[in-house]
Structure 1
Amino acid sequence: MDYFMIRFFFLLIIFFKLILSSKEVLVFAPLPMLNKTEVYDNFYPMIKLLEKRLDKKIIFFYSENYENILEQFEKSQIDFAYLGPLPYLKLKEKYDHVEPLIYFKDKNNSVYYTCSLVKFLKSEKIQKIALTQPLSTCGYLSVNSMLDNKLEEYKYKYLGKHDEVALEIIRGNFDIGGLRTSIAKDYYHLGLEEIKRTDKLPGFVLAGNSKTLTKNELEKLQNILLDVPSKDYSTWGKDIKYGVEKAFDKDYDKLREMLKDINIPTQDNFDAK
């Protein structure tokens, strides 16, 4: 076998190794702030655009448990995810391969958001408090802050999704609760009323997994989204339809300081049944 034939086979082996090492299917995980259908509908147009531009199949990983999403990300089962500030920070603490890529702007061109403490119209008592999830920024962390660090004086229960907090207060099963302001507003016409609002928090981030994606792949994903024209992203879900901005880990430093002084319980402190 001559030199050129040996070289040809050597290059062929390298070529096939590169093909096999390249991921043809990516896994995307959004936080379950709403029901599964609504979450899917919100992100479907964005995912279809990414599939076309990346020339890869992208599948959804949906879980109603924030902790499960973070665990699967850490196990390299998720390639990129839509994370709130608290889930992002908790993941970053133990898994340095999570890379912030972009923030999604709101209709006021801001990448920040707020959480609201809400009640049902004319209700004055505060006994039972509805929370989202332990790893939700608008859950224990924000509600405790809005109650001047007195949440432990009340009964509280984790309900999971933000919309479930709103509905359970409207049904009269809880007196007050905490959820993302943009979601709370969808229920004001049903009698939900804001009591208090947090200061602006660093926005939800699309974060990539640098253990499953190369630096070039992460940069390509980031640049595709940064270059999307408004006519395209205006068709996306209501919380991601106003454009994007590059994200940086240092933006979360203030929230890191807040977390140093609080221990967030993972269990309810009463049985609502």
Structure 2
Amino acid sequence: MSLASGQPYTYKTRNPLKNCTVPQGTARDREWSRRSAKYPLALVGAIGWSATTIGAWPAIARWLTVALAAALLVPGPRATAVQPAPYVLAVHPYLSAQEVRKRFAPLAEYLGRQLRRPVQVRVGSNYEEHISFVGQDAVDFAYIGPAPYVTVVERYGPKPILARVETKGTPYLNGVVFVRQDSSMQSLADLKGKRFAFGDPESTMGSIMPRFALFEAGIRLQDLARVSHVQSHDNVVLGVLSGDFDAGVVRADIYDEMAGRGLRKIAELPRVSEHLFVARSDLPSQDVRRLRRALLQLRSTPEGQRVMHAISTEMTGLVPASDADYDGIRKILWTLAREKR
């Protein structure tokens, strides 16, 4: 039949749209019909629909249904497993934040392997912030000093104790009051009228214990020419060496590391139970057990020795602990609180 006659015509093809009969129309309609038979998917994105394409739609729909079903049967890429958020190990800023992160990085890596989950080190901007984060369970586990631990329990309630530090074979901490090597001072009594550098106000050996030692020696803070809290132990050392202060106080292990710079000890402070590791209140019990076991086993392997010595060359292990081990520092805090009144 003549295409110019305006009568219907049949376009034959091997495509699923074969033998589609469409009304005769313009040359453009006939071109669309030819394309619909050869490239049916192209019609989906075409702009505008002519009578030809509308007439061919039932066959196109069937073709698209078959194509879509086939596509759904093709396996796609495997879904990537969601990585768990890292656990956070909090540490108080007893040294500069950079130095603390460096010292605790090997421990974080070690614990991450034990827990099969990454561990990040978070250093508080000061001791009070550290106490707040640990107390409010804003971190997963923490390294904390004796006095801050007692404060956490008093303010927020008990925390699971993982282990306490052993230094030089003993789980007790002591501190040192020191001066420059060329100073004339020989004892605590010589501190009257002198400038004294403390650490953070919440630090056990940087503030609490030296205040108690001065109190026991009959020296009030008012008897000193100047009292300053310079936050970290290394700041205390630098302040004394520079001549800004006449004397200062640090942990014994920090003093041992820095004594060669020109320091001299004039008094040792009473010892108290060492630093400890605690977990947040709702940490899963299986993780608490894994953490406790991993910390207690540090002393038994060469890797564990390296991890401990990165924190302190005098750390010899971690041992079990209970809240009662901190009753000594608890009593000292009560004594100082009464003395303030």
TM-score, normalised with respect to structure 2: 0.67
Residues 1:189 and 2:260 are matched in the alignment: yes
Correspondence for 1:112 = 172
Correspondence for 1:246 = 320
Correspondence for 1:144 = 211
The percentage of aligned residue pairs carrying the same residue is: 24
Q: In structure 1, which of residues 127, 131, 141 is the aligned counterpart of residue 198 of structure 2? A: 131
What are the within-5 Å matches in structure 2 for residues 1-273 of structure 1? Answer: 24-106=85-167, 108-124=168-184, 126=191, 127-147=194-214, 148-152=217-221, 153-154=223-224, 155-211=226-282, 213-228=283-298, 229-236=300-307, 237-239=310-312, 241-263=315-337
Contact 2:180 2:240 in 1 (8 A): yes
1:182 match: secondary structure = helix
Contact 1:116 1:194 in 2 (8 A): yes
Which whole-Å CA distance do the structure 1 matches of 2:179 and 2:220 have between them? 15
Q: Which amino acid aligns with 1:150?
A: I
Q: Which has the larger radius of gyration?
A: 2
Q: 1:86 to 1:122 in 2, by over 3 A?
A: same
2:105 match: secondary structure = helix
Q: Which amino acid aligns with 2:288?
A: L
Contact 1:230 1:243 in 2 (8 A): no
1:82 match: secondary structure = strand
Which whole-Å CA distance do the structure 1 matches of 2:136 and 2:212 have between them? 32
- Deviation at residue 245 of structure 1 after TM alignment: 0.6
Contact 2:272 2:328 in 1 (8 A): no
Q: Which amino acid aligns with 1:239?
A: S
The unaligned stretches of length 5 or more in structure 1 are: 1-19, 266-273
- Name the structure with the higher helix share: 2
Which whole-Å CA distance do the structure 1 matches of 2:338 and 2:249 have between them? 15
Give deviations 1:17-51, integer Å, cap 9, x for gaps. Answer: xxx9xx74211111211122221121111111111
- The structure showing larger relative contact order (alpha-carbon pairs under 8 Å, at least 6 residues apart) is 1
Contact 2:200 2:229 in 1 (8 A): yes
- Deviation at residue 97 of structure 1 after TM alignment: 4.1
The unaligned stretches of length 5 or more in structure 2 are: 1-81, 186-190
Give deviations 1:190-246, integer Å, cap 9, x for gaps. Answer: 2111110112210010111113x0233212210122123331121122427522111
Contact 2:177 2:247 in 1 (8 A): yes
- Deviation at residue 151 of structure 1 after TM alignment: 3.7
- Deviation at residue 139 of structure 1 after TM alignment: 2.6
Q: Which amino acid aligns with 1:119?
A: V
Q: Which amino acid aligns with 1:256?
A: R
Q: 1:55 to 1:264 in 2, by over 3 A?
A: farther
1:169 match: secondary structure = helix
Which whole-Å CA distance do the structure 2 matches of 1:190 and 1:224 have between them? 36
1:254 match: secondary structure = helix
2:119 match: secondary structure = strand
Q: Which amino acid aligns with 1:121?
A: Q
Contact 1:129 1:157 in 2 (8 A): yes
Which whole-Å CA distance do the structure 2 matches of 1:97 and 1:260 have between them? 18
TM-score, normalised with respect to structure 1: 0.83
2:178 match: secondary structure = strand
Give deviations 1:125-145, integer Å, cap 9, x for gaps. Answer: 641110001110113321123
